[in-house]
A and B are shown apart, each in its own frame.
Chain A
């Protein structure tokens, strides 16, 4: 059995990080994740409970494939809770595929940083256990290093999503500014044209009266 743990601090408030967590996939850092589906979801006592099916394409070295077999797509079940009143988001993921030999449990929690409320602390833990096949230690080692590598990519992915969301907001603000300035210019032009027409009309009317 292998236990892997990690802590990471995001320089963003909890609300920003949790919004990004729901928009994490697809991203260029984790191309292995090919599908996420919500199986169940409800708000109970102010807490959002979700159950998702995560589909991934995992490529294992051929020596490992000879032992555990291969799968076109690997499935995992993810249960999560979001408690906005207490600013806590937790996720628990367990593999469905290869379940006969591999038990792979991951937990993640997003909390505000204990001393800086504008930062977010991410704690991750994975417990991997392989049995019933040869070379269990080697397989566990291989899977643990995958978890670690994916965790790093996952954190970069969250940052990537946050930047994208920031860029979207900036783009919208820019478009609104452009539209407002264009609308103002159009209105100014209209007023000028209307004034000219009125002046002309006035001049013509005066001419007629003379």
Chain B
């Protein structure tokens, strides 16, 4: 699966692999700590946040009622 930006694909795939393992083998068996993939997640998350900023994808106001408001959600500019 791809990321919102190609640059983050590898980081995403490494993190997803770790997460899926943690979810099946640890979390579902009662483990509450999410430290196992923390390092991978930090790098991946940083990449995603930068990519979203570069592509003008904003999610901060997603919980607000959007219809009819000035917070118009536009499609990102074409590359």
Contact = CB atoms under 8 A, between A and B. Distances in A.
Interface of A: 15, 18-19, 22-23, 25-26, 34-43, 46, 48, 51, 53, 55, 69-75, 77, 82, 84, 94-101, 103, 129, 131-132
A26 B1 contact: yes
Contacts of B20: 19, 22-23
A100 B66 CA distance: 6
Nearest to A40: B45
Most chain-A Cβ atoms within 10 A of its Cβ — which of B27, B45, B58, B59?
A: B59
A41 B41 contact: yes
Interface in B37-67: 41, 44-45, 48-49, 52, 57-59, 62, 66-67
Given A35-B2, A53-B4, A101-B67, 4 more contacts: A22-B19, A38-B15, A46-B32, A96-B57
Nearest to A101: B67
A43 B34 contact: yes
B41 A132 contact: no
A11 to B, nearest CB: 19
A72 B75 contact: yes
B70 to A, nearest CB: 9
Nearest to B29: A84
Interface of B: 1-4, 8, 12, 15, 19-20, 23-24, 27-28, 30, 32-34, 41, 44-45, 48-49, 52, 57-59, 62, 66-68, 71-76, 78
12 contacts: A19-B24, A37-B3, A41-B34, A51-B59, A55-B2, A55-B4, A70-B75, A72-B78, A73-B75, A74-B75, A84-B27, A96-B58
Given A73-B75, A96-B73, A131 B68 contact: yes
Nearest 4 A-B pairs (CB), nearest first? A99-B73, A71-B75, A99-B66, A77-B62
B23 A19 contact: yes
